[in-house]
A and B are shown apart, each in its own frame.
Chain A
């Protein structure tokens, strides 16, 4: 079980080591980043604006190890309610790991060890008494690669209702339509709901995954680089969708794309080598970041 996942984690750990070793001649000095690379503790720069928002999810001094390799270092950040929060940072900085920690998908990786906690609307996520199944039902997750199930479009959307044992055709139909409309896919697929979801294009598949996620009425929507496998047009559609979800859902999105983060998020967190570096309102992070390192990253001078 999970051998693929553990391989990934090993690769990720290797990448981390590699990125540590690479020196970048010709770049401006980035003290914090060098300090981070050297393994020193660095205090995150969290803007006050973030702290004032009512949080849906609170990440509290969260550490995570893959085996002996620490992948997340004392992450402490609140995720605001009904806002879009973007996680940015270079490859291997732990964004996806953090996201997967939120709904405890990292439990599947057998070498993972954590300390610290996260709270979803005040409920401790890592409490041993927490039912992980119940927890995951409170979050919707969309992955990097579109991953519709090998079943019909309809069954994909109502999957979360099926596993809850919902059998009423009326409820299922309604949820299916609402979710597909919510994911801006209804008009494209309404005539072929019973066709295989695998026949859709990549962008449609990703929106279907979003429809599947929102059909479950999650408290938080977790998007893990949802556009990295899509072409620009499909990306644009998904971004439009995120725009529409803004204000109604709490969204936590991992992205490599600075434009995407700046366009579609309310708050942005910059991570580097498993540490939170700076976290604040998106406009502040992109236009007047506190740290030079953040500025260097968001303007594309490294990363």
Chain B
């Protein structure tokens, strides 16, 4: 064997050490695990979001539990207990009329029977028990009427107090014990259900004939009842309570008023609003009148409207949950949803049935539920409102029962019908419907039978349409996008995602419009012009800005900038144009300096701009602001924005100035500068600079003149920017958000853009400079195109940040979910809505799930933005990769 020659005299061990191999495989395993784990975690978040949001779109479900024959004839009223286990029926016909029977819904067995003699309801001609309570009003054939309580009262029943044989065996089962019922609930709990029938005192003045319809609402002082008799006379009675401030004693005074209906009008239906301030009288013909009864002593006829379309007859009128909306069923199978809206809707839609009244309201038909098929245009026989949502059940003479939702305007469910019930024929005209308190049971009564369904309604108020399309909400002027999720108990939640998506886009757009030019120009300056020593200090400083917590930025924007900008809005607007003009002017004047000075003080140019032109521009803006405000905005820009005073002139001037400036720059660059270059070949620098200054000044004058001309033109056409990009000034608005957000975005865009620009190979820069290009020409023509991919990434990363930013918009945007481009108006973003509302949304509620859907939407937006960005970036990169 030959002696080995070595370079260093050290033998090298060639076998890889087991420890190295081991750490290699451990590292590989950990890295693989980490990578897969990350992907799984991201996917899991997505899956979780989808899993929470998906149930919103699952359909409603219903199954027929029971069809039980009834022998008692017409049923006057129907109700169920809180758990949906037992139901009560008030008989309206034959010898049992006025008696109440309680039926177990599990098997249809009669559990209790209370004859008319015990209920005090003998001789009743109209009974109304609004859903969700026991408050009742009963009208009698003799013209009197009473309020009271009718229904099933549930109370917790400890099992120990009962013998085992007194406990029902199955969930939902009921047993009669000592004149009341024991109902078995899920989870071995029991409730004691007793039938209540109490009637209050008679009215101060009864009606003359049999009461044919009656309505009751509960007000703070006591119930308000309204009744109509067969001659069309109307009586409204209420109990008003007053507390004596000294003794604390309550005194209740019954009050009443008789209303003389218009001549020839005979009301068949009478309904009040839940607040007891409106009274609706509706005749079978559809003729209807709305009274204001806020002051019960002096009811005022507000308007007359047509509740029944064309030749159809009104067959049923029901007040839906919330109390402001009427569902009117007619003889052609249609159900119309109507309420009083404020003001006049634009365009005067045919749906408005009222003429408008002194209280500023008028009745409007928000939507009409048509019968499923045109050939099934048979009369609506009953409508029952859900006691907890804007769901309602409708039955018609042919097809049986449907569940509808008034907000969404959707057909929720048509529960399966037993043949016996479906074939009941005309007799079902007498139907009664009831939706149980928990929306878990639906009851229907025809002449012959009681049908019971178990229902699961899902989230009927949510559909792709209500989330994305304009919806006509209660009391709104017309269909609109709205997001409004919290209010009183009977509040109609408005789950339109459009305002939030719009807010997100608005925040992003205005922030990017504000931040991108600043950041990119700063990056170009820093990478191409700034002295390396300065850059070494300034870049880290700007990067530190990126690490400012966004809550601090939000605080600054919302609480520090907002009031300042509100106070000095006009100087700010003026400065937007004056400061650049003054800076450009100073650059032109600089060129007029003797050439020796120019070269000697070249390093001070920036200082001159920063400490000379900028303060001068700001001072000028402040000085000229009041004059501009008088000239353009009639003296006060805030009230001008509010639409008070002034013409559209000022807004158009401001809106068209940037465009005019761009147009002027383009024209000068295209036509004037080449000509100037040709003729100025032999001129001295100073002469050329003077000519250029002259061109600049002419350009400024032309820009202003053009803007004024545009403004005069558009103003004379009666167009106004108010309502578009300008409008009412709100202290926290898109401008504030743009400024606040720019603190977060600019450092991001700046630093990435600067890296991209700095990494353009030096030899390209040298080549361009070597060819005699100025640094600016080099930057614009060579460096920026070469770095386009990186610059685009920078902008997109900024965009991603702006889309998802939460804290700044939360604190500075005012959180008013409006759909308006107005720069001076607030908005709410998806992220801000999620942040504010998720903690208070009940788990599993529609609100909760819609917020998750909002999160999913936000995710989708950022996903699309990032994907598009990446695709575009790849294109750019393909173009520049060979550098």
Query: Which of these binds chain A: B429-437, B743-751, B766-774?
Result: B766-774
Bits for B524-552, please: 1 = Cβ < 8 Å to A, else 0: 00011111110100000000000000000
Against A, the Cβ 8 Å flags (1 = close, 0 = not) of B764-808 are: 111111111110010001100110000000000000000000000
B772 touches A145 (CB 8 A): no
**A151 partner residues in chain B, CB cutoff 8 A:** 785
Bound Cα distance from A167 to B785, whole angstroms: 20
Q: Does A129 contact B (CB under 8 A)?
A: yes
B883 touches A150 (CB 8 A): yes
Taking a contact as CB atoms under 8 Å apart, the answer to whether B532 and A209 are in contact is: no
- B532 lies within 8 A of A149 (CB): no
Which B residues lie within 8 Å of A4 (CB)? 762
Restricting to A169-203, which residues have a CB under 8 Å from any CB of B?
196, 198-199
B467-508 CB mask vs A (1 if < 8 Å, else 0) is 000000000000000000000000000000000000000000
Q: Do A129 and B595 contact each other (CB < 8 Å), given the known contacts A108-B769, A149-B767, A198-B883? A: yes
Q: Which one of B761, B772, B782 contacts A133 once the chains associate, using CB atoms below 8 Å? A: B772
Q: A209–B767 contact, CB under 8 A?
A: yes
| B882 is an interface residue with CB less than 8 A from chain A | yes
**A140 contact set on B, CB distance < 8 A:** 770-771
Residue numbers in A under 8 Å from B770 (CB-CB):
103, 105, 136, 139-141, 143, 222
A131–B599 CA distance with the chains assembled, in angstroms:
9
- Kindly list chain A residues whose C-beta atoms are within 8 Å of the C-beta of B528: 1
Please, how many angstroms separate the alpha-carbon atoms of A133 and B882 in the complex? 28
Complex partner residue of A160 from B527, B532, B596, B772, CB under 8 angstroms: B772
Q: Give the residues from 133 to 170 in chain A that come closer than 8 angstroms, CB to CB, to chain B.
A: 133-134, 136-141, 143, 145, 147, 149-151, 159-160, 162-165, 167
Q: Which of A108, A137, A163 has the largest number of chain B CB atoms within 10 A? A: A163
Residue on A with the closest CB to B881?
A: A198
In this complex, the member of A133, A212, A222 whose beta carbon has the largest number of chain B beta carbons within 10 angstroms is A133
Cβ of B763 under 8 Å from chain A:
yes
B762 — which chain A residues lie within 8 A by C-beta?
A: 2, 4-5
Can you spell out 14 A-B residue pairs with CB atoms less than 8 angstroms apart?
A: A1-B527, A2-B762, A129-B599, A136-B770, A141-B771, A147-B764, A147-B766, A149-B782, A150-B764, A150-B882, A159-B773, A165-B674, A167-B674, A196-B879
In angstroms, Cα B94 to Cα A257, docked, is 124
CB distance from B779 to the nearest CB of A (A): 11
User: Majority SS of interface residues in chain B?
Assistant: helix
Asked whether A235 is an interface residue with its Cβ less than 8 Å from the other chain, the reply is no
Q: Does B864 contact A (CB under 8 A)?
A: no
- State whether the Cβ of A110 lies closer than 8 Å to any Cβ in chain B: yes
In the complex, given contacts A134-B772, A149-B764, what are 5 additional A-B residue pairs having Cβ atoms less than 8 angstroms apart? A108-B765, A133-B772, A138-B772, A143-B766, A213-B771
Select from chain B the residue with minimum beta-carbon distance to A149. B782
A186 to chain B minimum Cβ distance, whole angstroms, is 20
Instruction: Please tell me if the beta carbons of A1 and B529 are within 8 angstroms of each other in the complex.
Output: yes
Cβ-closest chain A residue relative to B536: A3
Q: Given that A147-B761, A150-B786, A165-B677 are known contacts, is A133 also in contact with B599, CB under 8 Å in the complex?
A: no
Residues in chain B within 8 A of chain A (CB atoms): 527-533, 535, 595-596, 599-600, 673-674, 677, 758, 761-774, 777, 781-782, 785-786, 879-880, 882-883
A108 to B766, CA, bound (A): 9
Contact indicator B771/A163 (Cβ below 8 Å): yes
Interface centre among B531, B762, B879 (most CB of A within 10 A): B762
Chain B residues near A222: list those with CB within 8 A: 770
Q: How far is the CA of A3 from the CA of B883 in the complex (A)?
A: 19
Assess the A162–B763 pair: CB atoms within 8 A: no
Give the chain B neighbours of A147 by CB distance below 8 A: 761, 763-764, 766-767
The minimal Cβ–Cβ distance linking A143 to chain B, given in whole angstroms, is 6
Q: B residues within 8 A CB of A212?
A: 767, 771
Tell yes or no: A6 within 8 A of B by CB.
Answer: yes
> Across the interface, do B774 and A133 meet the contact criterion of CB distance under 8 Å?
yes
Which residue of B527, B673, B772, B883 is within 8 Å of A136 (Cβ)?
A: B772
Query: What is the chain B residue whose CB lies nearest that of A130?
Result: B599
Residues of chain B within 8 A of A300, CB atoms compared: none
Cβ B772 vs Cβ A143 within 8 A: no
Residue of B nearest to A162 (CB): B781
Q: Which of B527, B773, B785 neighbours the largest number of chain A CB atoms within 10 Å of its CB?
A: B773
User: A149 to B492, alpha carbons, bound, how many Å?
Assistant: 63
Check A163–B773 contact: CB distance below 8 A: yes
Q: What is the bound-complex CA distance between A180 and B615, given in angstroms?
A: 52
Task: Find chain A residues with CB under 8 A from B774 CB.
Answer: 133, 163
A141–B765 Cα distance when bound, in Å, is: 12
A113–B529 Cα distance when bound, in Å, is 19
Is A122 on the interface with B (CB-CB < 8 A)? no
Inter-chain contacts of A1 with B (CB < 8 A): 527-532, 535, 758
A81 at the interface (CB under 8 A from B): no
Which residues does chain A contribute within 8 Å of B785, judged by CB atoms? 149-151
**A139-B599 Cα distance, complex, nearest whole Å:** 22
Q: Is the CB of A163 within 8 A of B767?
A: no
Name the residue on B nearest A156 (C-beta).
B767
Neighbouring A residues of B673 by C-beta, 8 Å: 165
> Are A137's CB and B767's CB within 8 A?
no
Contact A145 B530 (CB under 8 A): no
**B819 CB to closest chain A CB, in angstroms?**
43
A164 CA to B528 CA in the complex, in Å? Answer: 20
**By CB atoms of chain A within 10 A, which of B527, B769, B772, B774 has the most?**
B772
Partner of B786, one of A128, A149, A159, A160: A149
Q: Is A230 an interface residue (CB 8 A)?
A: no
With both chains docked as a complex, state the minimum distance between the C-beta of A139 and any C-beta of chain B, in angstroms. Answer: 7
Residue from A1, A3, A133 whose CB has the most chain B CB atoms within 10 Å: A1
Residues of B within 8 A of A167 (CB): 674
Q: Which of B533, B766, B774 has the most CB of A within 10 A?
A: B766
With the chains together, A213 CA to B770 CA distance in Å? 9
Any B CB within 8 A of the CB of A86: no
Nearest to A197 among chain B residues (CB) is B882
Q: What residues of A have a CB within 8 angstroms of the CB of B880 in the complex? A: 150, 198
Instruction: Verify B531–A110 contact, CB threshold 8 A.
Output: yes
Residues of A within 8 A of B761 (CB): 147
Q: Is A87 an interface residue (CB 8 A)?
A: no
B882: chain A residues at CB < 8 Å are: 150, 198-199
Check A216 against B771 for contact (C-beta < 8 Å). Answer: yes
**B768 near A159: Cβ-Cβ < 8 Å:** yes
- Which residues does chain B contribute within 8 Å of A209, judged by CB atoms? 767
Closest-by-CB residue of B relative to A167 is: B674
- Mark contacts of A210-226 with chain B using CB atoms, 8 A cut-off: 1 yes-contact digit, 0 otherwise: 00110010000010000
- How would residues 1 to 33 of chain A score, 1 for a CB under 8 Å from any chain B CB and 0 otherwise? 111111000000000000000000000000000
